[in-house]
Every structure is written in structure tokens, then in C-alpha cells.
């Protein structure tokens, strides 16, 4: 009896010790998660200091023009979202859509293609045209609306600016300009369900009203009579119609003709009002629009926009003679070659075409009305558009060069003042002598050489400016990489200490080596002094505060590593003391993990890799099932079929074509899947392999009613897809009643899974059906089928884990004593992590990325298909529309995470430990993407590489957020009877 009491007391003591250890681990994990969120948020900001650093600098004086202004006033007309090809090509009957502007090209002015630089959005496009620089991409964090920093523009320099158009554009450039008169239409006027060409007519009506009012308003007439006057008409119709109806629709193409008529009306009105031939006209677009009705990336449909200029100071058309055009090596900002043949269907091959970069339009407009170029402009003056004498050409070009040189000089000065070891840009050390030489050549009337030297100096100035933009790159990149490596090492040590059997083997109290005092205070003191030294150096260099944060985070993490140095040494010795077969298994697992992670990295640029992956995995899985369970051929066939079905989707175009019939049929497919899952659940209770995913439910009839309700809601959603789309297409509006029904179906269906059975299979089926109505109502094509295919593959993953669990328990039975001590430390229904368990986070990452790329590219701006939200809202509401689009993209992710959580319960893994492993593996990819970030090539390549890095950096927060949401659905999941407790036959 006394022995039993001692044993009981010892067991109770171990329980208390285990509880205390669990509490300590939980506290450490809270701080570790907070540290991870802070680190990833902080280091994600580093891309703005390295690659997205604002090009805007202040403190420079404008360079005045030394020529007489060719024009007294300028009219700028921008057709938002107007593609060059749709503007210039003929219609199906051979008639051109813009007859007036074509007559200008042939009779009055000059034309070309303006090449925009991604991101091809409205705000950065207008900034390029009006201010002459390519906007700091960090402005995307403010929705391209508010000014992240104030910048100079042609409007700022004008005597007065009159502007009419969209509320998303006009206030950006006019609200802070005191000498401006402007009006914008209300947001409510922008309805995606109708023909938006009335928005363009609104701008014309306001301008006509202004001109008419000036006849009786002396103050207004005086303003209109001044020189250096700018009139700006922003026409938003093509952009809105392109999003809503696509650029090949009759509504969009008719809008091109509306814009042409407006340009003609404005020209006629101006010429009749002034009648002095002193007005210059510039017509262009901020960006194009893709065939699927989106923009943002670097595709030619988005970057190629029309440019037509005529009037005072603009050259007339030049005859184009046949000549051998060869590539001269020059590429525009969208990576298009300089010498590109004009398509024959445009019927403009006989008229000389002068292409420009979009930022070149700002110096062109400034020169036409005698204004200094905007001080932050990086545009090159396109002399091919200007009607100037040789002297005036060189003077205008030199003013453009000095303005860009000033930016370089100011940037060089700021860096020299704040650097201990300053390294100048050597090609421009003697810039003043080059300027003097150009001035001497102008005095000697050697204009050709002077012009060539001026253009060469401008190119060097741009290179020098880029040199100082990237001056701190090496230092910052080294710091960020060290920070990530420090974080990953800390995370790995925590997982090994807290979630593996090594805690009992090498971290027990018997191991005196680990528990020796290591003088942690000295480690932290050394780290603190190192931080202070770095902070002082950064402060003396007047580095931004974020630089301090980058360095402090890296030093803090490596200080913690030095604190755990004995632990790391012990782990290292333990690994090498194991049998060679164990070491070989560890090496093979690491190599396989790296291979899979590299595969995932490659899939970001080539999503078709998933097709080959699932073809191979399906075949391999089927063969293994046939070998292990020859009496269960249906399981093998199922795994093969669902993997091959999912492999099809990454072959499909990322631009999802409209197919409402496919969406409607998908609803029926979802219901069939639900019934199949329910039948499987009811017939698998006696199966010794698969019984672990179901358990007896006494409330089966009550749960059946809930299942039927969910099935009905899915079918109703399919019906609403047809009704809402048909009515909107026919009547150009979405009925309020349809909106109410759609919102109700989406909202109620997501709550119902909370009341479903807690059986693993039943709850997952209910979750699938619960999100199905929302996904159907937000789908426009094959992505609805993808949702079902992904669910089938996830079910295949569960079956594989069931089979593996059965085999493992069969091997280990009847000896189950090895894990009993670990259960004292973990929760009663969890076991320690083993090397083979790494497959679970790896499979999760593959499936999570399949959800990422299965129906497009979440990393691309152009993947956000706005027509997906038209069954919920059509009146323009950017925040609501964006929220709906993001929610749609998150639904497949949540399904994957729900299955992941269920599997951790099924095979008794600590979910938080698996989460940390997912983050650890994700950060391996993050570091790789950090090295893949580019600063050369097209802006699309640069932007994509940075977005990939940013997306992987956000995984720690994104996954934590989704885990928290999905935990509401999965926390009560219960698994059935494990094979270990059954008799093995």
C-alpha cells in the first residue's frame, strides 16, 4: 500500500511538473508569435527602403526655360483605361472609331505610343503624365489616392489649372493647388452595371459650362485669358466600361467614339473661343486594359496607350518612307523595343510614329507652355513632337538635362553629408566641366554635338540618381538575411525543445551539460553594447528609424542564439551520436524538404508545374494503395482520379473566362459531393482502417436536417447565380431583392457548420458546404469547379493519413509505452513530433500554394477579377469590392487549413508545433525570394519578384489569422476509435 502511495505521489508530481512545463511553453510561444509578427512586418517594410524607396527629394530649384513658350495654353485630355490598339484599329466594318483624332494624326500633329510602366493603375499613370516620374510604389498602401509625399507637377507650375473628371484623380493633383478650379463627379455616379460613357460627357458638360460662364464673368474670363494656362479633362468612361464589360464589348468600343467626339468638341470650343492659334493639345491615356477587364501588370494591353499632340508648338505629320528597321538596343520602360512596326490594320504606316515613355509627356507639356520641368521628373523631352529651331531645341533639351542633373546632385549631397565612407558616382565627378562645354558648343552654334552631349549627360544623371537610390542595398540586405536566419534558428530550437522526444533524451535534468550555468547576463550585456554601438553609428549617419529597427532585431535574435549555444552544441552532438541510418534518414528528409520548397518557389513563376506534380503524386499514391491495401482498389482509384482532376486547373488560363453554366453546374456537383461524403460516413464505422475519421453520433437525425438545409442553400445559390447574372446582363442593373438574397445566403451558410456534428468527416463536409454558397456567388467560371476538386484532394489527404496511421499502429502494437512519458508533457491527446511528421506541414504548404495558384496568380494585381462581386454590389465601392475579392480568394485557404487542423487531431500532433514548422519552411522560401528580387529588367519582373517576397513574409500573420478563424469551426472536431485500441486481424 505504501509503495502504491509513493507511486501515486510520483505520478502526481510528474503531472504537476508537466503542467508547469506546458504553461511555460505556452508563455514562450506567445512571445515567440509576437516576435515573429513584429519581425516579418518589420522586414517586409524593408522592401520599401531597398526597392520602393521614394524617388522624390525636396530642396531643388526649378530650371527655367530659356526659350519663348510656343503656346499660351495647354489642353490635356486623358482617356482613362484607353488601349492603343482599340483606339487605332478599325471596327468589323472597316471604319475607324476615332475619326477626328485620326484626321489630326494625318493633317495637324504628331502621334505615337506612350509606354506606361507597371503598376498600370490610374494614379501612378497620371503621376507619370503630369509630374514626370514613376510613382513610389509604396503609394499602393494608400490606395493610390492620398499623396504619400507632396510632389511637383505641370499643374503646380501653371498660372492656373481648370480640371474636370473623376473624384479618384482630380483631387490628387488639384486640391492642394491654390490656383486651381476643379470639379469631380460624385462616386455614386460610377455604376459598373451601366454604360459609363456618361461620365465622359459629364466632364465635357462642366467644361462647356465654364466657357459659357466666362462670357458673363469678368474674373473667370481674365483667368482664361492668361498665359501658362492648363485645362485638364479626365474621361473615366473607358476604364469603368472596360472593367464592367471588357474592352472587346460594344459598350467599350462605342466609348472610344464618345472620347473622340469630346476631343473634337473641346478643340472646336477652344478655337472658336480664342481664335489665336496659341493653344496646344495633348491627348493620351494613363493605362490600357486587359481582355479580362483588369489592369495593373506589364502586359502590352495595359502598358501601350495612345499619344496624339497638335496645335501651337507641335510639329505637323511627317511622311514615313520604307526603310530597314532594326533593333537599336533601346527599350522603353515596359521593355518594348524602340523600333516596332506599326500594325498594318491601323493604316498609319505612312505617317511617322514617335513613341515615348509615359514620363516624357510631362517635359513635353511643360516646354509647350514655357514652364520649368517638374523638379522630380525623370522624363526625356521628346523633341520629335516640338516645332522648334535648332537653338531652341538644344536650349530646351539642356533645361531638361539640368533639371535631372539637379536631382542627382542633391541626392549626392545628402548622401555625402551623412556617410562616414562616402563613395561618389565617378562618371559625374566633373559634371560642371561637361555643362560648360555644352554651353560653349551652343555659343559656337555646334548644335548637333551640344545636343548629343546634353542627352548623354542626362542619361548619366539618371544612372547616378539610381546609384544613390540603391546606395545602402548591400548593408540592408545583409542585415535582413541575418535577421531571418536568427529567427529561424530560434524557432527551430523552440520546436526541438518543446515538441520532440529530444526533450526527454537530451534536455532532461540528468543531462548536466545543458543545465550548466552559461552566464546569460554576459550574453545579453554584450548584445546590448553591440546594439548601442550600431545605433550611435546609424544616428550619426542620420539613417531612418527603420534602419535602427532592422539592425536591432537581427542583433537581438543572434543574442538569443548565443544564449542557447550549449543547447545547439548538445543537439549537434546528439545527431552525430545516432546510428548512421538515422543520420541518413535526417539528411534525406532535409534534402526532400528543400526540393519541395524549391519546387514551390519555382511554381510562383510557372504554375503549370503543379500539373506534373499532381499527375506524379496521383500515380504514386495509387500504386502504394494497391500494394498496401490490395483488397481496397477503390481507394487507389479515388486518389489517382482526384489528383489528376486537380492537375487540370493549372493548365487553364489565369484570366478566367465567363461561364455561368459551369458555376451553376458546380453547385449540383457540391451537393453530390456532400451526399457521397455522408454515405461514406455512414458506411465506414466498421472499417478498421478508416473508422478513425468517424464516430457514433446519437443526434444523427437532427444533424441530417442541418445537412439537407445546407444542400438546399447551395442549390439556391446556384439558382441565384443564374437569376442575378441574367437580370444584370439584360437590364443593366442588379435588383435590390437579388442583393438581399445573395447576402443572406452567403452569411447564413457560413454560420451553419458551427451546429453540425463534431465528427471529423461530418464537420469538414459541413464546412465545405458552408462556404460553397459564398464561393459560387463570387465565381464567374471554372474556379467554382476548382473549389470542389480541391475538396476532393483534401479528402484524399485524409484517407492517406488514415492508412498511414493504421500501418504505424499495427507496427507499434502491442508496445505503446514509448510515448507515455511524452504525454505527461503534451496534452493527453497529443504526442511528440517525429521526423516523419514533417510530411504534414510540407503537404499543407503544397496544397496551400495550389489554392494560391489554382485559378490564377494571387501575387498579380491583374488577378483581381472585379466582375466577381457583381452579384453583391455594382455601384463602385472600392473597400467593399476589395473585401469581397479577398474573401473569395481566402475561402480555398480556409478549407485547406480546416483539413490541416483536423489531420493534426487525427494523428495526435501538436497543432501549434506544426504551425511553427510551416512558418519555418515558409521562411526558407522567403529568403530565397529575397535573393530573387530584381532591380533590372522590366518593372513587371521587378514588381512580381517583390510581391512574392512580400507574400511569403506575410505568411506568419496571414496563417495565424486564418488559423484563428478556422479554429472556430475545427476546435470541437472529434476523431473516431484509433486502430491501436482495436483488435488487429
Give phi and psi for 446, each to the nearest 5.
Answer: -95, 75
Examine residue 108 and state whether it is found in any structural domain, yes or no: yes
Tell me: do 375 and 459 sit in the same domain: no
CA-based nearest residue to 120, from 302, 242, 284, 301: 302
pLDDT value of residue 330: 79
The helix or strand, by DSSP H or E, that contains position 273, with its residue range, turns out to be helix 250-274
Check if the beta carbon of residue 264 is closer than 8 Å to that of residue 100.
Answer: yes
Check if the beta carbon of residue 347 is closer than 8 Å to that of residue 103.
Answer: no
The residue written with cell numbers 540528468 in the block is 510
Examine residue 559 and state whether it is found in any structural domain, yes or no: no
Q: Domain boundary residue among 470, 505, 532?
A: 470
pLDDT value of residue 99: 96
The range of the structural domain enclosing residue 366 comes to 73-387
DSSP string, 833-868: B-GGGGHHHHHHHHHHHHHHHTTS-TTSGGG--GGG
pLDDT value of residue 815: 40
DSSP string, 514-529: TTS---HHHHHHHHHH
The CA distance from 268 to 103, in Å, is: 14
Check if the beta carbon of residue 355 is closer than 8 Å to that of residue 112.
Answer: yes
pLDDT value of residue 978: 59
The helix or strand, by DSSP H or E, that contains position 304, with its residue range, turns out to be strand 304-311
DSSP state of 371: P
Evaluated on CA atoms 811, 813, 817, 821, the torsion sign reads positive
DSSP string, 650-670: GGS-SSPPP-HHHHHHHHHHH
Give phi and psi for 309, each to the nearest 5.
Answer: -130, 140
Check if the beta carbon of residue 279 is closer than 8 Å to that of residue 72.
Answer: yes
Query: What CATH number is given to the structural domain containing 221?
Result: 3.40.720.10
Tell me: do 383 and 422 sit in the same domain: no
Q: Domain boundary residue among 470, 496, 526?
A: 470
Tell me: do 276 and 424 sit in the same domain: no
Domain count, the chain: 3
The CA distance from 947 to 938, in Å, is: 14
Q: For each successive 10 residues of the chain (985 residues), what is the average pLDDT?
A: 52 59 77 90 83 79 93 97 95 93 96 91 91 70 50 93 94 90 89 86 96 94 95 96 92 96 97 95 96 85 96 93 58 81 91 95 97 95 96 96 95 86 89 94 94 96 90 88 93 86 56 47 81 87 87 92 78 73 84 93 87 92 86 88 91 76 90 89 72 64 80 93 78 76 92 90 93 90 89 92 81 48 55 88 93 61 60 76 84 93 90 91 92 61 74 84 90 70 39
Tell me: do 349 and 450 sit in the same domain: no
Q: From the DSSP assignment, how many helices (H) and strands (E) are in the chain?
A: 34, 8
Tell me: do 312 and 419 sit in the same domain: no
Examine residue 549 and state whether it is found in any structural domain, yes or no: no
CA-based nearest residue to 180, from 202, 204, 154: 154
pLDDT value of residue 862: 41
**For the chain, percent helix, then strand, then coil, each to nearest 5?**
65, 5, 30
CA-based nearest residue to 794, from 906, 713, 699: 906
Q: Does the reported pTM lie above 0.85?
A: no
Q: How many CB atoms lie within 10 A of CB 974?
A: 15
554 grid coordinates = 537581427
582 grid coordinates = 538515422
DSSP string, 495-562: HHHHHBTHHHHTSSTT-TTTTS---HHHHHHHHHHHHHHHHHHHHHTT--HHHHHHHHHHHHHHHHHH
Question: E-assigned strands of 166-303?
Answer: 180-184, 229-235, 279-284
pLDDT value of residue 953: 85
Examine residue 693 and state whether it is found in any structural domain, yes or no: yes
330 grid coordinates = 533601346
HEC string of 44-92 equals HHHHHHHCCCCCCCCCCCCCCCCCCCCCCEEEEEEECCCCHHHHHCECC
The CA distance from 392 to 68, in Å, is: 9
The CA distance from 335 to 298, in Å, is: 9
Q: Domain boundary residue among 371, 387, 403?
A: 387
Q: Coil, helix or strand for 701?
A: helix
Tell me: do 376 and 395 sit in the same domain: no
Check if the beta carbon of residue 50 is closer than 8 Å to that of residue 477.
Answer: yes
Give phi and psi for 246, each to the nearest 5.
Answer: 80, 150
Tell me: do 275 and 408 sit in the same domain: no
DSSP string, 882-923: HHHHHHHHHHHHHHHHHHHHHHHHHTT--HHHHHHHHHHHHH
Tell me: do 378 and 426 sit in the same domain: no
CA-based nearest residue to 271, from 500, 100, 39: 100
Tell me: do 765 and 711 sit in the same domain: yes
Query: Cα–Cα distances in Å, from 960 out to 30, 785, 915?
Result: 12, 27, 8
Tell me: do 167 and 133 sit in the same domain: yes
Examine residue 554 and state whether it is found in any structural domain, yes or no: no
Tell me: do 161 and 259 sit in the same domain: yes
Examine residue 817 and state whether it is found in any structural domain, yes or no: no
Tell me: do 370 and 414 sit in the same domain: no
The CA distance from 91 to 595, in Å, is: 52
Examine residue 914 and state whether it is found in any structural domain, yes or no: yes
Examine residue 460 and state whether it is found in any structural domain, yes or no: yes
DSSP state of 372: P
What value, to the nearest 5°, has the Cα angle with vertex 49 and ends 44 and 54? Answer: 125
HSE-up (13 A, CA, CB side) for residue 571: 16
State how beta strands 279-284 and 304-311 pair: antiparallel
Q: How many CB atoms lie within 10 A of CB 508?
A: 11
Q: Coil, helix or strand for 236?
A: coil
Amino acid at each position: 500500500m505504501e509503495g502504491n502511495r509513493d507511486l501515486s505521489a510520483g505520478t502526481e508530481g510528474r503531472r504537476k511538473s508537466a503542467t508547469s512545463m506546458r504553461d511555460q511553453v505556452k508563455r514562450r510561444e506567445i512571445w515567440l508569435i509576437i516576435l515573429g509578427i513584429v519581425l516579418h512586418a518589420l522586414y517586409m517594410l524593408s522592401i520599401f527602403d531597398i526597392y520602393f524607396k521614394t524617388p522624390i527629394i525636396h530642396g531643388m530649384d526649378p530650371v527655367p526655360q530659356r526659350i519663348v513658350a510656343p503656346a499660351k495654353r495647354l489642353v490635356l485630355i486623358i482617356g482613362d483605361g484607353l488601349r492603343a490598339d482599340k483606339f487605332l484599329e478599325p471596327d468589323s466594318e472597316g471604319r475607324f472609331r476615332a475619326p477626328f483624332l485620326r484626321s489630326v494624326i494625318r493633317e495637324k500633329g504628331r502621334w505615337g505610343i506612350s509606354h506606361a510602366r507597371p503598376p498600370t493603375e490610374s494614379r501612378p499613370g497620371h503621376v507619370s503624365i503630369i509630374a514626370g516620374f514613376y510613382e513610389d510604389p509604396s503609394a499602393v498602401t494608400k490606395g493610390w489616392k492620398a499623396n504619400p509625399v507632396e510632389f511637383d507637377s505641370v499643374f503646380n507650375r501653371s498660372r492656373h489649372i481648370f480640371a474636370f473628371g473623376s473624384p479618384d484623380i482630380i483631387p490628387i493633383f488639384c486640391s492642394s493647388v491654390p490656383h486651381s478650379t476643379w470639379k469631380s463627379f460624385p462616386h455614386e455616379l460610377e455604376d459598373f452595371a451601366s454604360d459609363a460613357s456618361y461620365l465622359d460627357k459629364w466632364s465635357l458638360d462642366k467644361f462647356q459650362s465654364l466657357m459659357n460662364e466666362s462670357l458673363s464673368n469678368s474674373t473667370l474670363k481674365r483667368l482664361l485669358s492668361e498665359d501658362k494656362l492648363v485645362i485638364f479633362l479626365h474621361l473615366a468612361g473607358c476604364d469603368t466600361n472596360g472593367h464592367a464589360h471588357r474592352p472587346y464589348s460594344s459598350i467599350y468600343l462605342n466609348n472610344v467614339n464618345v472620347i473622340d467626339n469630346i476631343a473634337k468638341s473641346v478643340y472646336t470650343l477652344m478655337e472658336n473661343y480664342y481664335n489665336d492659334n496659341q493653344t496646344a493639345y495633348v491627348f493620351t491615356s494613363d493605362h490600357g486594359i486587359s481582355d479580362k477587364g483588369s489592369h495593373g501588370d506589364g502586359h502590352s494591353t495595359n502598358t501601350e496607350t495612345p499619344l496624339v499632340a497638335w496645335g501651337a508648338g507641335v510639329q505637323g505629320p511627317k511622311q514615313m518612307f520604307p526603310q530597314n528597321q532594326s533593333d537599336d538596343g533601346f527599350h522603353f520602360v515596359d521593355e518594348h523595343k524602340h523600333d516596332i512596326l506599326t500594325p498594318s490594320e491601323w493604316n498609319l504606316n505612312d505617317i511617322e510614329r514617335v513613341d515615348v515613355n509615359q514620363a516624357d509627356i510631362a517635359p513635353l507639356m511643360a516646354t509647350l507652355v514655357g514652364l520649368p520641368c517638374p523638379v522630380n521628373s525623370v522624363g526625356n523631352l521628346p523633341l520629335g513632337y516640338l516645332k522648334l529651331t535648332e537653338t531652341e531645341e538644344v536650349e530646351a533639351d539642356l533645361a531638361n538635362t539640368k533639371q535631372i542633373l539637379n536631382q542627382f546632385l542633391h541626392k549626392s549631397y545628402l548622401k555625402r553629408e551623412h556617410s562616414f565612407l562616402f563613395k561618389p558616382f565617378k562618371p559625374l565627378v566633373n559634371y560642371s566641366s561637361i555643362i560648360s562645354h555644352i554651353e560653349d558648343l551652343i555659343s559656337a552654334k555646334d548644335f548637333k554635338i551640344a545636343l548629343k552631349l546634353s542627352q548623354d549627360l542626362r542619361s548619366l544623371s539618371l544612372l547616378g540618381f539610381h546609384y544613390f537610390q540603391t546606395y545602402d542595398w548591400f548593408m540592408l540586405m545583409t542585415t535582413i538575411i541575418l535577421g531571418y536566419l536568427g529567427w529561424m534558428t530560434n524557432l527551430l530550437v523552440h520546436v526541438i525543445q518543446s515538441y520532440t522526444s529530444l526533450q526527454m533524451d537530451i534536455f532532461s535534468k540528468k543531462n548536466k551539460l545543458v543545465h550548466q550555468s552559461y552566464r546569460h547576463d554576459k550574453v545579453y550585456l554584450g548584445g546590448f553594447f553591440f546594439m548601442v554601438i550600431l545605433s550611435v553609428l546609424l544616428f550619426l549617419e542620420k539613417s531612418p528609424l527603420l534602419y535602427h529597427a532592422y539592425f536591432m532585431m537581427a542583433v537581438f535574435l543572434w543574442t538569443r542564439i548565443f544564449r542557447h549555444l550549449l543547447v545547439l552544441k548538445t543537439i549537434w552532438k546528439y545527431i552525430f551520436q545516432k546510428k548512421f541510418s538515422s543520420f541518413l534518414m535526417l539528411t534525406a528528409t532535409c534534402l526532400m524538404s528543400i526540393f519541395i520548397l524549391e519546387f514551390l518557389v519555382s511554381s510562383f513563376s510557372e504554375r503549370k508545374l503543379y500539373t506534373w506534380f499532381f499527375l506524379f503524386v496521383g500515380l504514386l499514391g495509387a500504386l502504394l494503395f494497391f500494394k498496401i491495401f490490395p483488397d481496397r482498389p477503390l481507394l487507389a482509384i479515388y486518389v489517382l482520379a482526384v489528383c489528376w482532376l486537380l492537375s487540370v486547373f493549372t493548365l487553364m488560363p489565369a484570366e478566367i473566362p465567363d461561364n455561368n453554366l459551369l458555376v451553376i453546374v458546380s453547385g449540383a456537383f457540391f451537393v453530390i459531393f456532400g451526399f457521397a461524403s455522408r454515405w461514406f460516413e455512414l458506411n465506414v464505422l466498421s472499417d478498421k482502417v478508416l473508422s478513425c475519421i468517424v464516430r457514433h453520433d446519437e443526434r444523427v437525425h437532427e444533424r441530417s436536417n442541418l445537412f439537407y438545409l445546407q444542400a438546399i442553400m447551395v442549390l439556391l445559390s446556384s439558382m441565384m447565380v443564374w437569376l442575378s447574372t441574367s437580370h444584370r446582363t439584360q437590364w443593366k442593373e442588379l435588383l435590390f431583392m437579388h442583393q438581399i438574397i445573395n447576402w443572406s445566403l452567403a452569411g447564413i451558410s457560413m454560420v451553419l457548420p458551427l451546429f453540425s456534428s463534431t465528427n471529423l468527416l461530418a464537420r469538414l463536409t459541413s464546412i465545405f458546404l458552408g462556404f460553397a454558397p459564398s464561393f459560387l456567388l463570387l465565381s464567374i467560371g471554372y474556379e467554382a469547379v476548382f473549389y470542389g476538386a480541391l475538396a476532393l484532394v483534401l479528402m484524399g489527404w485524409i484517407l492517406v493519413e488514415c492508412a498511414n496511421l493504421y500501418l504505424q499502429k499495427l507496427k507499434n502494437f502491442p508496445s505503446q509505452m514509448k510515448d507515455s512519458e511524452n504525454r505527461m508533457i503534451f496534452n493527453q491527446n497529443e504526442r511528440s513530433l517525429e521526423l516523419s511528421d514533417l510530411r504534414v506541414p510540407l503537404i499543407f504548404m503544397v496544397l496551400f500554394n495550389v489554392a494560391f495558384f489554382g485559378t490564377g496568380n494571387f501575387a498579380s494585381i491583374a488577378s483581381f477579377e472585379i466582375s466577381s462581386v457583381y452579384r453583391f454590389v455594382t455601384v463602385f465601392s472600392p473597400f467593399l469590392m476589395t473585401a469581397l475579392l479577398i474573401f473569395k480568394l481566402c475561402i480555398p485557404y480556409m478549407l485547406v487549413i480546416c483539413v490541416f487542423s483536423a489531420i493534426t487531431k487525427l494523428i495526435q500532433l501538436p497543432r501549434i508545433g506544426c504551425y511553427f514548422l510551416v512558418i519555418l519552411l515558409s521562411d526558407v522560401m522567403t529568403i530565397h525570394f529575397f535573393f530573387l528580387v530584381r532591380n533590372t529588367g522590366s518593372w513587371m519582373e521587378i514588381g512580381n519578384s517583390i510581391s512574392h517576397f512580400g507574400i511569403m513574409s506575410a505568411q506568419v500573420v496571414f496563417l495565424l489569422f486564418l488559423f484563428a478563424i478556422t479554429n472556430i469551426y475545427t476546435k470541437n472536431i472529434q476523431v473516431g476509435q484509433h486502430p491501436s485500441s482495436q483488435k488487429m486481424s
